Structure formats: C-alpha cells, structure tokens
Amino acid sequence: MEKNTVKGSRILLIGGSAGSLEVLIKALPLLRPVLSFPVVIVLHRKSSEDKLLEDLIAAKTAVPVAEIEDKTPINPGNIYVAPSDYHLLFENNGVVGLDVSDKVNYSRPSIDVCFESAARVYGTGVTGILLSGANADGTAGLKEIHEHGGTVVVQQPATAEMPYMPQYAINSLTPDYIIPANELAAYINNL
C-alpha cells in the first residue's frame, strides 16, 4: 500500500463553469505572489482549448502557473489548471494523475472527480471553492470534502453570472462560507 505523504498538507481547489472565469480574472491579480499552498483550478472548458486558459491565468497573476501532465507533483506556491478533456486524480505521494474515463455531469474535467479525489488524499487540508455555473457539478465533491473535515466555500449566488451551480450546492449542504465574488481574493490571501 502506498504511503500517504500529503495528509495534513493544505491544498486549495477552485471549481467553476459558466461565469466563473470572469470571477477568477478579477481575483487572480489580487493574490499574494507567494502562497504557502498549491491552488488547483478546474473549469469546464471545450476539449479544443489547448493551453489558452493556462496562458490567460498566467497573464493575470504573479503566482507561478505550472502545467499539469500525468504524474505532476503538486507543490505549494503554484497554481495548476486542469487540462481540457482530463479528470484530475490526486495520489497519496503528492502527484496528480490524468484520467480520460467517462464525463461526469457532462464534463471532463469534472469538478466532482477532482474534489472527491483530493478530499480522500488531503483530508482536513482541503479547501474547496465552487463558483458560478449552470449544472450540478461540484456539489458531490463539496460533500466529500466536508465528510473528510475539509473546508467548503461557495460563491454567493447573487454575485454569480450563472447562479445554478452555487445555489444547488447551498441547497444540498451547509457550506462553511458563502462569499461574494469580489471577496474571493481576500479569502484566499487569508488562508
């Protein structure tokens, strides 16, 4: 059995769909350039969007943006963006694997798959943030984060371009925090 070397480590996961990129574009320039934990962003995107999203995010923040490939080590102080058409699976040795299994909630990458996998590996060290979107992806993952003692954060639906995703999560569980879009950067900087 593989030894778990990341239990107790901290990781921040941000998931979103329609309307979430705008929130991130406003928040990223406000992030401290040195973070003591890794940030993993999982956005629903078209399969054809090669590295456009990674390049856009890198242009908006002073935090280094690292590319994810299969078996990429997840290190503090970096932002990682889930590549198009792959699920992210976290492993006990601190790396992330890429998976091409079936879409979940019509999506690959799926927010649920990423959040659930990280919850099992990082336990209480996970903070999951769910942003704007038009389907239910992310809620099951937030439940798993909660069950493993992690922190659950949902964008205030009134500040979401597409409020269905955050509202569905709020209706399905009790988040630790519900934050407006304009407070996302301050929340992350205070972690």
Active site residues: 17, 44, 137
| Closest to 3 (Cα-Cα) out of 88, 76, 94 | 94
Q: State the sign of the Cα–Cα–Cα–Cα dihedral 44, 22, 116, 68.
A: positive
Q: Name which of 185, 104, 178 is nearest 140 in CA terms.
A: 104
d(CA 64, CA 167) in angstroms, rounded, equals: 32
Q: State the pairing for strand pair 39-43/11-16.
A: parallel
**Which two tokens mark 13?**
């996961």
Question: Order of strands across the sheet with 126-130?
Answer: 65-66, 79-81, 39-43, 11-16, 126-130, 151-155, 177-179
Pairing of the two strands 65-66 and 79-81: parallel
Three-state SS at 58:
helix
